[in-house]
Copies of this chain bind each other. A is one copy, B any other.
Amino acid sequence: MDVPEGFSPTFILVLNLLGTFVFGLSGGLAAVRARLDLVGVVVLAAVVGLAGGIARDVLIGAPPATFRDWRYLAAAAAAGAVCFFAGRVLERVERSVMFFDALGLGLFAVTGATKALRFGLGPVQAILLGAITGVGGGVLRDVMLREVPTVLREGLYAVPALIGATVLVVTQRAGGTSPVFPVLGALLCIAVRLVGVKYRINAPRPRDPTDRPGPG
């Protein structure tokens, strides 16, 4: 529809489908953990896998790709099926929800930023939109399971997404057309996220507000 700047569209599509699949795994496994039934597992896998891309397209005013290309649906549904049938195995992988979520975060941060640039957004906006694409699915997953979204609770969640998107935007602005750059951005995001989880690194907290009583 519009001329890509540099990357092969197929390459970006593959990253997007991969991101949809791993985010779907993260949603499906969270559903298995919450003891939802088969439909709940597939639905949550689909929601988490597809939400980031839908949010991205709606926010940049692009025709939503999700419902134009059956492969996104297939990737999300496949993730749901895998979680239902193999969830017990995947569950054994400690913190598996978090792990697949981190993979999706990195992949969607760079593909989201790429699409934003293609639709003519400025670099700062593209970075932010990349981060939103990465973060969106997880927010919905957490809200639907009645948890405070990870992006609010953990310092190293939005930050790695911003880092990954920044790598993409900076290198592409500098004329880089090699697929190395999106891969680099995604890997950097994933690495920072996993390190943050492992060592429980958080951003600084505001100082304790006066613990005043009252109706506030």
Q: CB within 8 Å of B: which residues of A? A: 31-44, 54, 58-61, 63-64, 66-68, 70, 73, 83-84, 87-88, 91-92, 94-95, 97, 116, 121-122, 124-125, 128-129, 139, 143-149, 151-159, 202-207, 209-210, 212, 214-216
> Bound complex: CA of A204 vs CA of B38, how far in Å?
6
Neighbouring B residues of A154 by C-beta, 8 Å: 37, 39-40
Selected from B40, B58, B61, B214, the residue in CB contact (under 8 A) with A152 is B40
Across the two chains, which residue of chain B brings its CB closest to A204? B38
Copies in the complex: 3
How distant is the Cα of A61 from the Cα of B215 in the complex, in angstroms?
41
Other than the given A37-B204, A43-B151, A70-B125, 15 more pairs (CB < 8 A) read A35-B205, A37-B205, A39-B151, A39-B155, A40-B203, A60-B67, A73-B124, A88-B209, A88-B210, A91-B209, A94-B214, A94-B216, A143-B143, A145-B148, A145-B152
Contact of A38 among B39, B91, B121, B205 (CB under 8 A): B205
Distance (whole angstroms) from the CB of A81 to the closest CB of chain B = 11
Residues in B neighbouring A203, C-beta threshold 8 A:
37-40
Closest partner residue, chain B, to A94 (CB atom) = B216
A31 vs B151: C-alpha distance in the bound complex, in angstroms? Answer: 12
Check B70–A59 contact: CB distance below 8 A.
Answer: no
Q: Which of B31, B67, B92 contacts A128 (CB 8 A)?
A: B67
With a CB–CB cut-off of 8 A, which chain B residues contact A87? 206, 209
With A146-B146, A202-B37 in contact, do A209 and B152 touch (Cβ < 8 Å)? no
